[in-house]
Amino acid sequence: MSTKIKYTDEAFGPVKLVRDFLPAPDELVLKEETVKVTISLSKASVDFFKQEAKKNHTQYQKMIRRLLDAYTLAHQQPRMRPGRRKQRASNR
């Protein structure tokens, strides 16, 4: 069923170093500030998100929250987006 691996002392060839792109552990545990709300959604929408969440092994509420966050970010004024400095009135 499985093939045996044969190890040799051959050279690997050119090695390419890859920059560490993973977040630090403390960045993984931080949670975004959230606010509890009550909202009525269509059954079709909730069923869709539940189905997609199951396929992707995640929570449907998290998917809806990320969708709303992406929509909000895309439609905010440029000076309101996170990571950008507020523009001074004289620079407009």
* Domain hosting residue 60, numbered range: 42-82
Tell me the C-alpha distance between 36 and 62, whole Å. 13
Q: Please report how the helices 60-75 and 43-55 are oriented relative to each other, as an axis angle in degrees rounded to 10.
A: 110
pTM > 0.75? no
Tell me the C-alpha distance between 87 and 80, whole Å. 10
Nearest to 46 by CA among 60, 67, 59, 65: 60
Lowest mean pLDDT among 20-24, 31-35, 82-86, 88-92: 88-92
Most confident of 28-32, 50-54, 75-79: 50-54
pLDDT at 80: 55
pLDDT at 79: 60
* Residue 52 in domain: yes
Number of domains present in the structure of the chain: 1
* Residue 4 in domain: no
* Residue 11 in domain: no
Q: Residue 55: what are its φ and ψ, rounded to 5°? A: -65, -35
* Residue 10 in domain: no
* Residue 49 in domain: yes
* Residue 70 in domain: yes
Question: For 69-75, what is the mean pLDDT?
Answer: 90
Between 58 and 26, the higher pLDDT residue:
58
pLDDT at 27: 74
- Count of C-beta atoms within a 10 Å radius of residue 34: 7
* Residue 71 in domain: yes
Structure tokens belonging to residue 14: 């050119």
* Residue 91 in domain: no
Residues in the chain: 92
pLDDT at 92: 45
